[in-house]
Structure 1
Amino acid sequence: MYIAMNRFRVVPGFEEAFEAQWLNRQGRLSEVPGYIEFQMLKGPKAEDHTLYASHTVWDTYESFVAWTKSEQFRAAHARAGESKVQYLSGPHFEGFEVIISEDSAGNRRSQAA
Protein backbone atom coordinates (compact mmCIF):
# COMPACT_ATOMS: atom_id res chain seq x y z
CA MET A 1 0.00 0.00 0.00
CA TYR A 2 0.96 3.63 -0.43
CA ILE A 3 -0.24 6.68 1.54
CA ALA A 4 -0.17 10.14 -0.05
CA MET A 5 -0.51 13.12 2.27
CA ASN A 6 -0.66 16.86 1.73
CA ARG A 7 -0.32 19.22 4.67
CA PHE A 8 -2.03 22.61 4.51
CA ARG A 9 -1.31 25.54 6.84
CA VAL A 10 -4.51 27.61 6.75
CA VAL A 11 -4.43 31.21 7.99
CA PRO A 12 -6.71 31.80 11.03
CA GLY A 13 -10.23 32.80 10.02
CA PHE A 14 -10.18 30.73 6.80
CA GLU A 15 -10.77 27.31 8.37
CA GLU A 16 -14.50 27.25 7.63
CA ALA A 17 -13.93 28.19 3.97
CA PHE A 18 -11.20 25.55 3.64
CA GLU A 19 -13.42 22.81 5.08
CA ALA A 20 -16.38 23.85 2.90
CA GLN A 21 -14.14 23.83 -0.17
CA TRP A 22 -13.24 20.19 0.49
CA LEU A 23 -16.79 19.17 1.41
CA ASN A 24 -18.18 20.62 -1.80
CA ARG A 25 -15.57 19.45 -4.30
CA GLN A 26 -16.00 16.46 -6.55
CA GLY A 27 -12.87 14.44 -5.82
CA ARG A 28 -13.25 11.77 -8.53
CA LEU A 29 -10.94 9.42 -6.59
CA SER A 30 -13.38 6.51 -6.71
CA GLU A 31 -13.16 6.52 -10.51
CA VAL A 32 -9.46 5.58 -10.48
CA PRO A 33 -8.12 2.02 -10.13
CA GLY A 34 -6.15 1.38 -6.95
CA TYR A 35 -7.86 4.02 -4.77
CA ILE A 36 -8.76 2.71 -1.29
CA GLU A 37 -9.78 5.63 0.95
CA PHE A 38 -9.46 9.34 1.74
CA GLN A 39 -9.59 11.42 4.92
CA MET A 40 -9.19 15.14 5.53
CA LEU A 41 -7.65 15.65 8.95
CA LYS A 42 -7.80 18.77 11.12
CA GLY A 43 -4.80 19.20 13.35
CA PRO A 44 -3.61 21.65 15.97
CA LYS A 45 -3.97 25.40 15.84
CA ALA A 46 -0.90 27.58 16.08
CA GLU A 47 -0.81 31.35 16.37
CA ASP A 48 -0.38 31.81 12.61
CA HIS A 49 -2.23 28.78 11.15
CA THR A 50 -4.42 25.71 11.58
CA LEU A 51 -2.87 22.51 10.29
CA TYR A 52 -4.85 20.21 7.97
CA ALA A 53 -3.71 17.06 6.18
CA SER A 54 -5.29 15.10 3.37
CA HIS A 55 -4.64 11.37 3.66
CA THR A 56 -5.23 9.10 0.67
CA VAL A 57 -4.58 5.36 0.67
CA TRP A 58 -3.70 3.53 -2.56
CA ASP A 59 -3.09 -0.13 -3.28
CA THR A 60 0.33 0.70 -4.82
CA TYR A 61 2.61 3.63 -5.48
CA GLU A 62 2.01 3.08 -9.19
CA SER A 63 -1.76 3.56 -8.69
CA PHE A 64 -1.09 6.89 -6.98
CA VAL A 65 1.18 8.05 -9.82
CA ALA A 66 -1.46 7.01 -12.37
CA TRP A 67 -4.00 9.16 -10.47
CA THR A 68 -1.72 12.20 -10.69
CA LYS A 69 -1.56 11.78 -14.48
CA SER A 70 -5.27 11.10 -14.97
CA GLU A 71 -8.10 13.19 -16.39
CA GLN A 72 -9.86 12.72 -13.04
CA PHE A 73 -6.92 14.39 -11.25
CA ARG A 74 -6.99 17.36 -13.64
CA ALA A 75 -10.76 17.71 -13.21
CA ALA A 76 -10.57 17.46 -9.40
CA HIS A 77 -7.91 20.20 -9.25
CA ALA A 78 -9.22 22.42 -12.05
CA ARG A 79 -10.62 25.10 -9.71
CA ALA A 80 -7.76 25.10 -7.19
CA GLY A 81 -6.60 28.57 -8.24
CA GLU A 82 -10.04 30.07 -7.53
CA SER A 83 -9.86 29.40 -3.79
CA LYS A 84 -10.46 32.32 -1.43
CA VAL A 85 -8.64 30.48 1.37
CA GLN A 86 -5.35 31.99 2.52
CA TYR A 87 -2.41 29.71 3.27
CA LEU A 88 0.99 30.33 4.84
CA SER A 89 2.47 28.39 1.90
CA GLY A 90 1.36 25.87 -0.71
CA PRO A 91 0.51 22.30 0.26
CA HIS A 92 3.41 20.19 1.46
CA PHE A 93 3.35 16.66 -0.04
CA GLU A 94 4.57 13.57 1.81
CA GLY A 95 4.33 10.03 0.44
CA PHE A 96 4.73 6.83 2.44
CA GLU A 97 5.11 3.19 1.51
CA VAL A 98 3.25 1.03 4.03
CA ILE A 99 5.68 -1.54 5.45
CA ILE A 100 3.55 -2.87 8.34
CA SER A 101 -0.21 -2.67 8.82
CA GLU A 102 -2.50 -4.04 11.52
CA ASP A 103 -6.31 -4.20 11.43
CA SER A 104 -8.80 -3.91 14.31
CA ALA A 105 -8.71 -7.69 14.86
CA GLY A 106 -4.96 -7.56 15.43
CA ASN A 107 -4.07 -9.13 12.10
CA ARG A 108 -0.69 -7.80 11.08
CA ARG A 109 0.78 -7.67 7.58
CA SER A 110 4.29 -6.87 6.54
CA GLN A 111 4.83 -5.47 3.06
CA ALA A 112 7.91 -6.45 1.09
CA ALA A 113 10.14 -3.44 0.47
Structure 2
Amino acid sequence: MYIAMNRFRVAPDCEEAFQRRWLDREVLLKTVPGFVSFQFLKGPKAEDHTLYASHTVWASYEAFLAWTQSEQFRQAHASAGDGRKLTIGGPVFEGFEVLQTVEN
Protein backbone atom coordinates (compact mmCIF):
# COMPACT_ATOMS: atom_id res chain seq x y z
CA MET A 1 0.00 0.00 0.00
CA TYR A 2 0.99 3.60 -0.53
CA ILE A 3 -0.21 6.79 1.18
CA ALA A 4 -0.09 10.14 -0.59
CA MET A 5 -0.58 13.30 1.46
CA ASN A 6 -0.66 16.98 0.64
CA ARG A 7 -0.44 19.49 3.49
CA PHE A 8 -1.86 23.00 3.14
CA ARG A 9 -1.45 26.07 5.35
CA VAL A 10 -4.69 28.06 5.22
CA ALA A 11 -5.11 31.58 6.59
CA PRO A 12 -8.00 31.96 9.07
CA ASP A 13 -10.05 34.18 6.74
CA CYS A 14 -9.79 31.57 3.94
CA GLU A 15 -10.78 28.43 5.86
CA GLU A 16 -14.46 28.38 4.91
CA ALA A 17 -13.74 28.89 1.20
CA PHE A 18 -10.93 26.29 1.29
CA GLN A 19 -13.20 23.70 2.88
CA ARG A 20 -16.00 24.42 0.39
CA ARG A 21 -13.58 24.01 -2.53
CA TRP A 22 -12.75 20.51 -1.30
CA LEU A 23 -16.14 19.40 -0.02
CA ASP A 24 -18.14 20.62 -3.04
CA ARG A 25 -15.91 19.13 -5.73
CA GLU A 26 -16.65 16.12 -7.91
CA VAL A 27 -14.68 13.16 -6.56
CA LEU A 28 -13.14 11.14 -9.39
CA LEU A 29 -10.87 8.97 -7.23
CA LYS A 30 -13.42 6.14 -7.02
CA THR A 31 -13.12 5.63 -10.78
CA VAL A 32 -9.37 4.91 -10.68
CA PRO A 33 -7.98 1.36 -10.26
CA GLY A 34 -6.04 0.90 -7.04
CA PHE A 35 -7.78 3.66 -5.08
CA VAL A 36 -8.54 2.55 -1.49
CA SER A 37 -9.66 5.59 0.52
CA PHE A 38 -9.49 9.37 0.91
CA GLN A 39 -9.66 11.63 3.95
CA PHE A 40 -9.78 15.44 4.05
CA LEU A 41 -8.21 16.49 7.35
CA LYS A 42 -8.26 19.64 9.46
CA GLY A 43 -5.32 19.92 11.83
CA PRO A 44 -3.98 22.27 14.45
CA LYS A 45 -4.25 26.03 14.36
CA ALA A 46 -1.20 28.27 14.49
CA GLU A 47 -1.23 32.04 14.85
CA ASP A 48 -1.31 32.69 11.10
CA HIS A 49 -2.84 29.49 9.65
CA THR A 50 -4.67 26.21 10.13
CA LEU A 51 -3.10 23.04 8.81
CA TYR A 52 -5.18 20.92 6.40
CA ALA A 53 -4.23 17.71 4.63
CA SER A 54 -5.51 15.42 1.93
CA HIS A 55 -4.76 11.78 2.73
CA THR A 56 -5.18 9.17 0.01
CA VAL A 57 -4.53 5.45 0.36
CA TRP A 58 -3.61 3.42 -2.74
CA ALA A 59 -3.18 -0.30 -3.32
CA SER A 60 0.38 0.38 -4.51
CA TYR A 61 2.81 3.11 -5.49
CA GLU A 62 2.20 2.12 -9.12
CA ALA A 63 -1.56 2.72 -8.68
CA PHE A 64 -0.81 6.19 -7.28
CA LEU A 65 1.49 6.97 -10.22
CA ALA A 66 -1.17 5.81 -12.67
CA TRP A 67 -3.63 8.21 -10.99
CA THR A 68 -1.23 11.13 -11.43
CA GLN A 69 -1.02 10.35 -15.16
CA SER A 70 -4.75 9.73 -15.68
CA GLU A 71 -7.44 11.79 -17.37
CA GLN A 72 -9.31 11.81 -14.04
CA PHE A 73 -6.30 13.49 -12.38
CA ARG A 74 -6.19 16.14 -15.12
CA GLN A 75 -9.92 16.78 -14.69
CA ALA A 76 -9.67 16.92 -10.89
CA HIS A 77 -6.84 19.47 -11.02
CA ALA A 78 -7.89 21.46 -14.09
CA SER A 79 -9.04 24.49 -12.09
CA ALA A 80 -6.46 24.25 -9.30
CA GLY A 81 -5.04 27.71 -10.06
CA ASP A 82 -8.38 29.40 -10.69
CA GLY A 83 -10.08 31.70 -8.24
CA ARG A 84 -8.78 33.28 -5.09
CA LYS A 85 -5.57 31.86 -3.59
CA LEU A 86 -6.62 30.20 -0.34
CA THR A 87 -3.32 28.82 0.97
CA ILE A 88 -0.11 30.25 2.33
CA GLY A 89 2.42 28.87 -0.12
CA GLY A 90 1.86 25.76 -2.16
CA PRO A 91 0.92 22.30 -0.96
CA VAL A 92 3.60 20.13 0.59
CA PHE A 93 3.50 16.58 -0.80
CA GLU A 94 4.55 13.58 1.26
CA GLY A 95 4.42 9.98 -0.01
CA PHE A 96 4.73 6.90 2.18
CA GLU A 97 5.15 3.21 1.50
CA VAL A 98 3.09 1.32 4.10
CA LEU A 99 5.29 -1.09 6.03
CA GLN A 100 2.72 -2.25 8.56
CA THR A 101 -1.04 -1.97 9.03
CA VAL A 102 -2.82 -2.84 12.29
CA GLU A 103 -6.62 -2.87 12.18
CA ASN A 104 -9.33 -3.68 14.67
Alignment TM-score > 0.5, same fold: yes
Question: Segments of 4+ in structure 1 off by > 6 A?
Answer: none
Q: For structure 1, list consecutive stretches of 5 or more residues without a partner in the other structure.
A: 105-113
Q: Give the alignment's TM-score, normalised by structure 2.
A: 0.96
Q: Does 1:52 align with 2:52?
A: yes
CA distance in 2, matches of 1:83, 1:8: 17
Q: CA RMSD in A?
A: 0.8
CA drift of 1:11 comes to 1.1
Q: Percent identity?
A: 63
SS of structure 1 residue aligned to 2:30 = helix
Query: What is the match of residue 27 of structure 1?
Result: 27
Please say which of residues 19-28 and 34-43 is displaced more in the overlay.
Answer: 19-28
Alpha carbons 1:29, 1:35 under 8 Å: kept: yes
State the TM-score, normalizing by the size of structure 1: 0.89
Report if aligned partners of 1:3, 1:96 keep a CA contact under 8 Å in 2: yes
Q: How does 1:1-113 map to 2 (within 5 A)?
A: 1-104=1-104
Contact 2:8 2:52 in 1 (8 A): yes
Q: Any stretches of 5+ residues in structure 2 without a counterpart?
A: none
Partner SS, residue 72 of structure 2: helix
Number of residue pairs matched?
104
